[in-house]
Amino acid sequence: MGKQTFGVIVTTRSFFPSHLVKTAREKITALLDKLGYGCVMAGETDTNLGAVLSLGEAKTAAELFKKHGGDIAGLIVVLPNFGEELGVAEAIGRAGLDVPVLVQACGDDFDRLDMANRRDAFCGKISLCNNLRQRGIKFSLTASHTCDLDGAEFESDVKRFAAVCNVVRGIKNSRIAMLGARPMAFNTVRFSEKILQKYGISVQTADLSEVIAAAGNCRDTAAIQAKEKEIRAYGRIHSDIPPEKITLQAKLCIAMEKFVDDLDCQASAVQCWDSLQHNYGCAACLGMGMMGEKGKPSACESDVTGAVSMLIAQLAAGSAPALMDWNNNIRGDENRCIALHCSNFPKSFFGGADMEIGCLDVLGSVLGKERTFGACKAQAAAGPMTFVRVTTDDTRGVMKMYVGEGEFEAEKIPTKGGTALCRVPDLQGLLRYICENGFEHHVCFVRGHAADILEEAMGRYIGAEVYRHR
């Protein structure tokens, strides 16, 4: 994938000085170049000063954006002065890209309000947003109503907008692999493929028996040895794990990765228990975590909407997410809890903690350790985190989600598996919301704070119903 690219519209009104347009073009170009983003903008010979004012200039900009439509992730509108709202609205509407739009307005200098320097973008932004709203064009705003193009605040605005565009572009026309049917006991992860399709997400299914057969029939010695080496380097393996179990695990990893790749999917959900342990002889967690580490997150227990949650979290935060259970209270602290899973966490999610690759603890006690090798175990290191959960509300025909932020804490958890000690503001209110609104027991976590990005991308542009927990 090439670098992220934005279409840029610099607008003006004829009676404002031309130097405002010139400096705005220079500053937005310099900023996007500094941040490593591409820029598609009308040149100074394409329109008057390279700005968009008239219908003819709007058409010119629109045609330019159409030409580069496959590359443009979002549009940035710059108002160096009051601007021409109709020209901007026409350019966006005629381009027909259906991408996020960021509206920026330059602030006035109180000591330079003479006619040679006054901007009035403070007012022009309101007029532009009114016209965009009339036309049903969705748009985002900067943190402050006006800001400097070469300031740190607008740089943060652009980075945040880039992440919003990343989520929107990544989830539209995304494909989720479902490797195996939902385990019988997990009614909680039932979902509607049709509702997901309405939002641009398609589900590609494969029977688990096909995956098991592909793993069992894998004869590529070089690929198997390379995967074994990758596994041994991925985490700490106890000496009592026989080499043949690592080979068995390597073949399963190869098979799962091939199915996900062949189906052209960006994420997956796997029937990780307990048919796989009975019929193949190891756990899927390790292979799922390794796929997540490579940018293709994988959810447990055929939880497809959990995989969607993981995909958008990764797109927003730029790091590997994990799917966990909201699992245990902590003493009498109503704002802390334990989240855990068996687990299939990507190595980087643990934040540098020493990771053991061992046997499933719960299923291992029932099915036997010899059938359950492949769990990634550690406690997530302390640091900021975001939690998010997407689901389909089948009775209402909508996709909905909740999202919020908290912290992972360092206090040692006295239990096994992949664990995290979570602090969440008003946790009791969140749990009440989850229960009253029929959400699953699974939740996706990702390191860092990205709730604003997810709320904006999924609520404003994708059209999901979003509850933002604070």
Residues 228 and 310 in one domain: yes
Are 353 and 417 within one domain? yes
Our count of domains for the chain comes to: 2
Which pLDDT band holds residue 364 (cuts at 50, 70, 90)? Answer: confident
Separation CA 176–CA 298 (nearest Å): 9
238 has pLDDT over 60: yes
pLDDT mean across residues, the chain: 96
234 plus 309 within the same structural domain: yes
Cα(61)–Cα(76) distance, rounded to whole angstroms? 13
One domain for residues 112 and 250: no
Q: For position 89, which CATH number holds?
A: 3.40.50.2300
Cα–Cα distance measured from residue 262 to residue 463, given in angstroms and rounded to the nearest whole number: 30
pTM of the model: 0.96
Whether pLDDT at 353 is above 90: no
- The reported pLDDT for the residue numbered 275 is 94
Per-residue pLDDT band for 1 (boundaries 50, 70, 90) equals: low
**Distance (Å, whole) CA 167 – CA 387:** 15
Q: Domain boundary at 141, 156, 171, which?
A: 171
Q: Of the residues 171, 192, 223, which one is the last residue of a structural domain?
A: 171
- Tell me how far apart the alpha carbons of residues 179 and 201 are, in angstroms, rounded to a whole number: 16
128 and 178 belong to one structural domain: no
- Strand 101-105 with 140-141, pairing: parallel
Same domain, residue pair 131 and 251: no
pLDDT of 16 reads 81
Give yes or no for a contact between 64 and 46, defined as CB atoms under 8 angstroms apart.
yes
- Tens-place pLDDT, residues 19-76: 899 999 999 999 999 999 999 999 999 999 999 999 999 999 999 999 999 999 999 9
* Domain interval for residue 316: 174-468
**pLDDT reading at 112 higher than 70:** yes
What is the number of residues in the chain? 470
14 — pLDDT class (breaks 50, 70, 90): confident
- Give pLDDT tens digits for 374-384: 999 999 999 99
